[in-house]
Amino acid sequence: MSVFVATHNIISALGFTSEENGEQVFAGKSGISLVADTALSPVEFPAALIDKSRLEKEYNEIASSDEELSHFDQIIRLSAYQALKGSGIDASSRKTIIILSTTKGNIGELVKGKTAEQVQLWQSAQRLAQFLNNPNEPIVISNACISGVAAIVMGKRLIDSGKYDHAIVVGADLLSRFVVSGFQSFHSLSAQPCRPFDKNRDGLSLGEGAATVVLTCEPKAEYALEIVNGATSNDANHISGPSRTGEGLLIAINKTLGEDREVDFISAHGTATPYNDDMESKAISRAGLSQVPVNSMKGYFGHTLGAAGVIESIICMMSLTENKLVKTLGYSEFGVAEEITITTESKDQNMNKVLKVASGFGGCNAALVIEKHG
C-alpha cells in the first residue's frame, strides 16, 4: 500500500512552522547559541532552545480550557494542531492512530514536585489523544535517538496493515537539567556549535523542539511525497558506544533499500561525536553509497533527541519538493574513517529520493526512504 505525506509542522529554535524552519535552513542559519541558564547547567553550553514565550502565546490561542500544562504537553499539542489545520484529515476517526516519539518527555517536571508516575510518557500521549478527540490508544516510541525515524516507520507499517488510514506522528523533546547533565557526564557536549563529520569535531550540541508528520493512504494530487520503505535494527554493540564497523546501521539501510541504491542524497544522523560519525561513514561506504551526497542537520537544530528523526525527515521532504540540497553546517575539513561525499554548500539540484538514517544508544539504528512523485 502506498503511504503519502499529507502535511507536516516543525517547532524549533528556528521557527514555529515548517516554512519558517525551511527558510532558515536553506539560508544556512543555525538555531544554536550559547546558553547561560543555571536551571539547565552550572556552566554555559551551546544549544538550540525554542522561544518559550512564543510557545505559551501560540498555545494559549488554541487552548480550549484553563488546564495548566507543561511546556512539553503544550508543544506536542501545538505542533499536531498546526499540522492538522486545514489538512482534511479527521483526527477523531477510529481509522487514525497517534504516535508519540520522545526520549524524556516531561522528565523536567520532576524538579517541580511532580512524581515519576505523573510524568510517564504514556500519559502525555493520552493527553494528546484527548486533545485531538482521538478514540484510539496512542502509541509511544521511545527508542533513544532513532525514535523519530522509527515512529514514521511504525506509522507506515500500521497503515500498510490496513488497520488505519492515517497516522499522526509527533516527535518532541525539551532540555532539562536531567538531560543536559546526562550528556555532560559522558563528556559528549562540544564547547562550541557542533561540527558533523569534521576532523576537529569534539561533541554534539543539544536542541529542543517538536515536529508532526501526518501520513495517509488516501492519495490526492497534492500528496507528492511517499514513504516508500523503512526498517530498524539493533547491533547490541554497547549501551552508549556505536558499532565500530557500522554493521547495525548497514542492516537497516540494506533492509530499507533492497537492491535499489538509487538515492539522491542521504540525511545522516551526524551527531558530531567522534565515534558516531566514523560509524556512519563505514555503514554508508559498505552500503555502496560513498558517492551519494551526505548531510547532517545537527548544525541547524542541535540534537533534538526524540524530535530529531521527525524534524530532519521534514527538512528532507522540503529539500525534495524545493529541489534544494542542504549543506552540512559546521563542517569544514574531512575527518571520518571512510570516504563519503559530505555536502559543503547548499545548492539547487533536482532530487526525487532521499535516505534518512539514525542511530542511538543501545545499538539501535533506523532507515527510511522518502520519494517525490510528479
pTM, two decimal places? 0.97
Name the one residue in this structure whose C-alpha cell is 498555545.
Answer: 59
373 or 168, higher pLDDT: 168
Three cell numbers written together for 302: 542541535
What's the domain range around 315? 225-372
Give residue 118's pLDDT. 87
CA 353 to chain centre: 18
Would you say 87 and 6 are in contact if contact means Cβ atoms under 8 Å apart? Answer: yes
End-to-end CA distance of the chain: 18
CA nearest 359: which of 212, 151, 144, 198?
Answer: 144
The reply to whether 36 and 70 lie within a common domain is: yes
Three cell numbers written together for 222: 497534492
Would you say 368 and 337 are in contact if contact means Cβ atoms under 8 Å apart? Answer: no
Main-chain phi, psi angles of 13, to 5 degrees: -65, -15
The reply to whether 110 and 160 lie within a common domain is: yes
Residue 19, pLDDT above cutoff 90: yes
The secondary structure of residue 118, as a DSSP letter, is: G
User: What's the CA gap between 167 and 23, in Å, rounded?
Assistant: 26
The reply to whether 212 and 232 lie within a common domain is: no
Report, as an integer, the average pLDDT of 79-104.
Answer: 97
Paired residues of 305 in beta bridges: none
Give the domain CATH number at 343: 3.40.47.10
The reply to whether 194 and 286 lie within a common domain is: no
Report, as an integer, the average pLDDT of 236-247.
Answer: 89
Choose the final residue of a domain: 216, 242, 274.
216
The reply to whether 200 and 229 lie within a common domain is: no
The reply to whether 240 and 343 lie within a common domain is: yes
Give residue 74's pLDDT. 97
Would you say 267 and 357 are in contact if contact means Cβ atoms under 8 Å apart? Answer: yes
The reply to whether 142 and 283 lie within a common domain is: no
The reply to whether 12 and 120 lie within a common domain is: yes
Kind and range of the H or E run holding 286: helix 274-286
pLDDT digits (tens, 9 = 90+) for 242-264: 889 999 999 999 999 999 989 99
- CB-based contacts of 37: which residues, under 8 Å, 6+ apart? none
% of the chain exceeding 70 in pLDDT: 99
Choose the final residue of a domain: 199, 216, 233.
216
Number of folded domains that form the chain: 2
User: What's the CA gap between 332 and 342, in Å, rounded?
Assistant: 10
- CB-based contacts of 333: which residues, under 8 Å, 6+ apart? 198, 199, 200
Give residue 141's pLDDT. 98
Report, as an integer, the average pLDDT of 199-217.
Answer: 98
One-letter amino acid of 188 = S
Three cell numbers written together for 287: 552500503
What are the CA-CA distances from residue 85 to residues 91, 132, 230 (Å)? Answer: 10, 11, 27
The reply to whether 184 and 234 lie within a common domain is: no
- CB-based contacts of 65: which residues, under 8 Å, 6+ apart? none
**H helices within 161-204, ranges in order?**
177-185
Give residue 65's pLDDT. 66
The reply to whether 210 and 229 lie within a common domain is: no
- CB-based contacts of 339: which residues, under 8 Å, 6+ apart? 281, 285, 290
Residue 53, pLDDT above cutoff 90: yes
The reply to whether 118 and 247 lie within a common domain is: no
pLDDT digits (tens, 9 = 90+) for 286-330: 999 999 999 999 999 999 999 999 999 999 999 999 999 999 999
Main-chain phi, psi angles of 348, to 5 degrees: -75, 130
Residue 179, pLDDT above cutoff 70: yes
Give residue 241's pLDDT. 84
Choose the final residue of a domain: 170, 195, 216.
216
CA nearest 351: which of 301, 295, 307?
Answer: 295
Kind and range of the H or E run holding 122: helix 121-131
